[in-house]
Structure 1
Amino acid sequence: MNKHTAVLLGVSLESANRGVNALAIGSLSFIEHITGITNVAIIRLGKEDSISKIEVLLNGSTKDIVCYYISKRTFLRSLWELATSRPQNKISKLIVNAEYIFNVNEGDSFSDIYGLKRFLICFGNSLLAILPKKRQVFLPQTIGPFSSSLGKFLSRWILKRVPQIYVRDEKGVEYLRGAGLNYKTHIDMAVFMEPKRVGITVPAGTIGINVNGLLYFNGYGEIKGKFDTYKELLYKIICSLLESDHNVLLIPHTYDAEQPIWEDDLVAIKDLAKMIGHSKLSYLDKNYDAQELKYIISQTEFFCGSRMHSCIAALSLSVPTIGLAYSYKFEGTFRMFEQSDYVMDIDNLQPSNIDSVVSKILSKISNSAVIKQSLIKNNIERNYTVVEQ
């Protein structure tokens, strides 16, 4: 095993959620750019043991990234081997021989708000590095919040044993500061994923809109019933743009064109497009990967997104962007681009306020040239774009 091998945890290259994939690719690009390490393996919990190679574009070159999917049994076996200093299987040996262990925790899963089961997977991932006393780096992510006593205890136990912790938003800063832990703030890793050209023509002056299926269908867990007005808001935004003679392109970011998932953006988009039916309204209906979607988004004149990583794709390539925010995560990310004024909170948006939100969006679109120059300046100064378009 090459001594310069690094391991990346808490990411996926094959998720229907292109934001999760963008985190992975951006992290790989960032690791190579900063450390010079090019041999990085991904380890992820799966239904059974398997190995796959995924082709991605990193820093101008196409590379095959090795992904190890491990069953629960192999995962637990690996933890035991690492705890007893007897690495025997591929995974424990890979961990022991790695120079670095990088962990993203899916961007926001080092928390118990999604349930204790999901957090315990993150806890176990961290143990893979802690048990053999390997150097672990938490790449920029959301840390917390924690509502359960067990979650609070286990999170602090882990975080005290992670030498480098990076957070991407104020909520994470508040939690770590309150716990007396050291940290640094940094932009989300998806910023560093470069776009990949694809054979699609986006007409000049097109407004791109990401439709969030999670909010559109409004029936998942803690958010259930909080976004009753989301569908009407999108309808009015799109109709207003079409009345202003704009081309509008609807862009999914969490979807599967062949086998739709339960929160599928494309299913929501098709429903919306059918309701409106206009010659200047179009949508993407093929399975583009995260890098291809970033390229397509970069071709729009203005972008409006409800999936945070769709907004990051636009902002990192200096496309003027409005975030229709359902979570505090948007505020922290937009602030790092100096674009806080372009976050619109739609959590429990009242019907009486919809027209006001639409008017604000149209006003900001009319000021797109100024916004773009501000983004270009910020991205150059902060080196948010590793590889130019």
Structure 2
Amino acid sequence: MGGIQLCLAGASIGNGNRGVEALGRSVLDVIDVQAPGSRLSAFDDGWGVRVDTSGRYQGSEVEFVGVRLSRRWHRPESWAQIRVAQRLGGLGNPAARRIARSDAVLDISGGDSFTDLYGETRLRSVSAPKEAALRAGRPLVLLPQTYGPFNTVSGRRLAERLVRSAALAYARDPASYERLLELAGSSADPARLRSGVDVAFALEPRRPSHPIAELIEGLPGAPVAGVNISGLLRDAAAIERFGLVGDYVATMADVVRSLVDSGAHVVLVPHVHVPGGGGESDIAAISAVVERLPESARQRLTVVPSELDAAEMKWCIAQCDWFVGSRMHATIAALSTRVPACGYAYSDKTHGVFDTCGVGHHVVDARRVSGAEAVEAMVTSFATRDAVKHDLDIRVPEVVERARQQLTDILDDVRAWKKGLTLGAIA
């Protein structure tokens, strides 16, 4: 098939967010198989250049390259330093050199971070590798992701410029595709604006060597209900930041209690790990929920260790009979392994992904309902899991294949560009 040189941005594999890791690993896994002999430079927020030592990639050379917004502007990882290096030819800076020599820069924006919803600094960070690719004159490929919302004029103008300057752009659900078309404008080449699916559908689950695997496999015959509790939503600041209604932790505690009362064994699955368990760590949120439960309920709980990687977490989720979560990629791990799932969502992105699998009606919006009403909706989803499982068995294999095929199509495009076929911006 022929090797190519690629940079992958917006999917930091080692940052503790298993959803973002799932995006990065999914892309690298497919490229490793479909384009052996390639050199893949995955940007992350680490320091320096580090060769992958996992042994996971047999056909390609994979390395991790540190990049970040930093006040240490003199550091080679700083986007300010990378920008200066590009103006001087770029060869003295590791990231600038790899961008300049790449056949394309693939950018996925963490799946859902190409927005000003999380603030100006986050948008600047997400936009930096896109800007760097364009400065170097390299093809920018926007991998399947969510676009927006953009609540500021400056944020929307930036997004419009970057989308129109890209060589190829994918959205990961129909709603995002409509927003992508709006950003690209009427003069855009429609052949290079494509509707896709979240690449994490392609991630292969891997049984962990950790004792948790035997523990989950040895659970009693009761239905296994997986529950993800998001550390992003556990404190009062989330109410203002995302417009939540009610007490998120109290609602999730009531969900767990109701599932146990229904006869289920509950497996609690953290999907974001922060060292020490602080900040947005899901383990902190899980602990807050467990503290609210009676001892009788705690005896029917199993907590998955937060240090498992994305593929191992996906294996654990795949062992469940039903799953509910607020981290969208935790629910994707369920849906992609045909586990009936419910999303307790804080943004519209979850609806789009669930609609992809035909189960959009199993999304409960935390901005509209909480407490008893939300618990009832989630428990109803649990009760109808057998019917949903039948539907997923039919629909999901096609979605998983689309996740892989869209990456193969992108590689075909990159090879064509490498051969000198005419390439310009989308608009």
Q: What per-residue deviation string (whole Å, max 9, x for no partner) do you get for residues 283-330 of structure 1? A: 224411111110100001110111101000010000000111111010
Q: Is the 8 A contact 2:82 2:90 kept in 1?
A: no
TM-superposition CA deviations, 1:74-104 (whole Å, max 9, x none): 3334334434545333322212221221001
SS of 2:237's partner is coil
Question: What's the counterpart of residue 302 of structure 1?
Answer: 322
The question of whether the paired residues in 1 share the 8 Å contact of 2:266 and 2:302 is answered with yes
1:53 deviates by 2.8
Query: Do the aligned partners of residues 317 and 384 (structure 1) sit closer, same or farther apart at CA in structure 2, a change above 3 Å counting?
Result: farther
Q: Which amino acid aligns with 1:196?
A: R
**Residue 186 of structure 1 aligns with which residue?**
196
Per the alignment, residue 92 of structure 2 pairs with 88
The correspondence for 2:331, drawn from 291, 306, 311, is 311
Give the CA RMSD over aligned residues.
2.7
Mapped to 1, the partners of 2:167 and 2:59 lie a distance apart of: 32
Q: Name the structure 1 match of 2:225.
A: 207
1:252 is matched with which residue?
A: 270
Distance in 2 between residues matched to 1:54 and 1:107, nearest whole Å: 25
User: Taking structure 2 as the reference length, what is the TM-score of the superposition?
Assistant: 0.81
Indicate conservation of the 8 Å contact 1:11/1:20, yes or no. yes
Match of 2:118 among 101, 109, 114: 114
Q: Once the two structures are aligned, what percentage of the paired residues are identical? A: 25
TM-score (ref. length: structure 1): 0.88
Greater shift, 304-313 or 179-188, is seen at 179-188
Does the CA-based 8 Å contact 2:205-2:315 persist in structure 1?
yes
Structure 2 runs not aligned, ≥5 long: 406-427
1:138 alignment partner in structure 2 = 142
Distance 1:380 1:224, change over 3 A: closer
After TM superposition, the structure 1 stretch with the greater mean CA deviation from structure 2, 375-384 or 100-109, is: 375-384
Amino acid at match of 2:320: T
In the TM superposition, what whole-angstrom CA distance separates every residue of 1:14-73 from its partner, at most 9, and x where no partner exists?
Answer: 112211111111222243455556431112355x54535352746xx6987311114644
Equivalent AA in structure 1 for residue 269 of structure 2: I
Gaps of 5+ in 1: none
The equivalent position to 1:66 in structure 2, one of 63, 66, 72, is 63
Counterpart-to-counterpart distance in 2, 1:235 and 1:218? 16
Give the aligned residue type for 2:181. R
Aligned length: 379
Indicate whether 1:275 and 2:279 are aligned: no
Q: Which structure 2 residues correspond to residues 16-165 of structure 1 after superposition, within 5 A?
A: 16-32=16-32, 38-46=38-46, 48-51=47-50, 53=52, 55=54, 57=56, 65-70=62-67, 72-73=73-74, 74=76, 75-83=79-87, 85=89, 87-165=91-169
| More displaced stretch, 95-104 vs 215-224 | 215-224
- The equivalent of 1:323 in structure 2 is 343
The code of the aligned residue for 2:138 comes to K
Structure 2 distance, partners of 1:53, 1:361, is: 40
Quote the Cα distance in structure 1 between the aligned partners of 2:307 and 2:270.
9
Counterpart residue identity of residue 377, structure 1:
I
- The worse-fitting range, judged by mean Cα deviation, of 96-105 and 173-182 is 173-182
